[in-house]
Amino acid sequence: MSSDRTKSAQTNPNEGHLRLSNASLARLPGQIRRPSYDRSTIRPGIVHLGIGAFHRAHQAVVIDDLLGRGASEWGIVGASLRSPDTRDALVPQDCLYTLAVRSGAGTEHRVIGSVLETLVAPANPERLLARMADPATRIVSLTVTEKGYCHTPQTGELDAQHPDIVHDLRHPDAPRSAPGFIVAALARRQTAGTTPFTVLSCDNLSANGHTAKRIVTQFAALRSRELAQWIEDEVAFPSTMVDRIVPETTEADRTSVASALGMTDAWPVVTEPFTQWIVEDCFPAGRPDFAAAGVQLVSDVTPFEHMKLRLLNAGHSALAYLGYLAGYETIAATMTDAHFVVFARQIMEDAAPTLAMPAGTDLAAYSASLLHRFSNPALHHRTWQIAMDGSQKLPQRLLAAMQDRLRLDLPIDTHALAVAGWMRYATAKDEAGRAIDVRDPIAAKLKAIADSAGPVADRLAPAMLEVSAIFGTLGCDPRMRGAITQALGRLYEVGARQAVQEFCAA
């Protein structure tokens, strides 16, 4: 999930025009779906950390459906851990917002009412902690992106040197990080004798529940052994697989939503028709009747999570780096190039033997549906947006499959070209020598490596492979070195477009 903070969200488009709100709901055109329930009767039961576009287009829609079926104690309090932009956009409209579902067939608009309150953690950490510690809160869910876990992506362990973790240990009652807030709130509940909430990670991490549990307990142990043990024993961290493509909202989206609504919505979210949520059914503190809203409840989500990370997200990242370098602005534009379609399909085919799916799973059909979704011409999903935070995404999307393929003695050329694409992108210079605005927690380190190696595959690839937080010991494997150096060499010699074309012809 990528950040959807944009400067434009701070402005109030069409100032002076009618604004979406509880009071203006009745003035929406009749065909626009809106909350079917009385919002004033809804009580919060979920605190969500990371209230960006993804949450609002995915989990909050499921909850909106459930509120419509009478689950009135499961409203959402949404918190931003950094920027006030979402709160500033939503509060004047009573936290209502529009979901615009787009496909080639047109756009369907729906107003979502499940978010009851929005908080900004840095502005008032105490208020958020109080909400999380409130016995009415039975689920704390998260979409804080990969880097929000303050972990080492390769190992999944807490990074105890992370500046936010260091800060949160010093200021346990005014934390900054997601683990800091969760541990502080759980500590309060333990002291008060309140049952703990369930922690529901909805980020694209491998084994996201296990990873969240490991990080939260490791952080708690730095505060108190006893607290860590209590969390270990008492707190549930079900894993989930979440899926819906949600590009950043643009000014053009705001304008088109305003014209459909006949009123202004400062921050609508735009998405595709497809949505999927698979959740491990482990909620000792209770949960809404998720299944009634189409959520799949399973006992082990791991195979589905790996399938999605290694087919969808891997395909996305491969298209994002190589597509960006080839000059394509969006995923849909990249997919108009037949060679990139073949390449993305090959990434998926190569990942398939590394998966252990339940009987009856049709990976070929799943891959075909992904290629169809990637081609959705109505979504403006920028390659640049998906390219963000590569250091945090590569391990679970591309490297885990490469490791498994090496173990199975299978070639890794397809994935090597995608990783080489990331390396070239991370140098922060495109094929025409223009600067790339690389967003990544270790962007500066990557650029320094690139600057000292120069644009020479034989030097750059091994130097990048030494970044152990990303590659771990896999970076030392001579087969990795060989395949990635060769792929990067082609990227420097002929450019991404031709390298992909040659790859498909081979």
The contact set with ligand CS2 (CB under 6 A) reads 1-2, 204, 243-245, 312-313, 316, 385-386, 393
3-state secondary structure of 68: helix
Taking every pair of Cα atoms in the chain, the longest distance, rounded to a whole number of angstroms, is 65
Q: Residue 149 Cβ, how far from ligand CS2 at the closest point, in Å? A: 15
Strand partners of residue 108 = 101
Residues 6+ apart with CB under 8 A from 361: 303, 307
User: From edge to edge, which strands make up the β-sheet containing 44-49?
Assistant: 115-120, 75-80, 44-49, 139-142, 198-201
Nearer to ligand CS2, 438 or 453 (CB): 438
Report the C-alpha gap between 506 and 503 in whole angstroms: 5
The set of residues, in sequence order, having a beta carbon less than 8 Å from that of 303 and lying 6+ positions away, is 355, 356, 357, 358, 361
Closest CB to ligand CS2 among 164 and 305? 305
Shortest Cβ 347–ligand CS2 spacing (Å): 13
Cα torsion 40, 45, 50, 56: sign: negative
- The answer for residues whose C-beta is within 8 angstroms of residue 188's C-beta and 6 or more apart is 129, 132, 133, 194
Question: Could you tell me the smallest distance in angstroms from the CB atom of residue 382 to ligand CS2?
Answer: 9
Closest to ligand CS2 by CB, 128 or 319: 319
Minimum CB–partner distance for residue 131 and ligand CS2 (Å): 27
Q: Which is nearer to ligand CS2, 185 or 320 (CB)?
A: 320
Instruction: Tell me how far, at minimum, the Cβ of 397 lies from ligand CS2, in Å.
Output: 8
Selection from 114, 106, 95 nearest residue 31 by Cα: 106
Query: Which residues on neighbouring strands pair with residue 157, listed in sequence order?
Result: 152
Pick between residue 165 and residue 311 the one whose CB is nearest to ligand CS2. 311
Evaluate whether 19 touches 264 at the Cβ level (below 8 Å).
yes
DSSP state for residue 70 in the 8-state scheme: T
Which lies closer to ligand CS2 via its Cβ, residue 147 or residue 254? 147
Q: Which residue is nearest to ligand CS2 (CB)?
A: 316
Q: Are strands 269-271 and 157-158 parallel, antiparallel or unpaired?
A: unpaired
Minimum CB distance to ligand CS2, residue 1 (Å): 5
The residue among 386 and 438 lying less far from ligand CS2, judged by its C-beta, is: 386
Q: Which is nearer to ligand CS2, 2 or 217 (CB)?
A: 2
CB of 80 to ligand CS2, least distance (A): 18
Question: What are the DSSP E strand ranges found in 12-63?
Answer: 44-49
Q: How far is the CB of 234 from ligand CS2 (least distance, A)?
A: 30
Q: In whole angstroms, how close is the CB of 224 to ligand CS2 at the nearest point?
A: 35
CA nearest to 474, candidates 387, 389, 388, 415 = 415
Nearer to ligand CS2, 312 or 335 (CB): 312
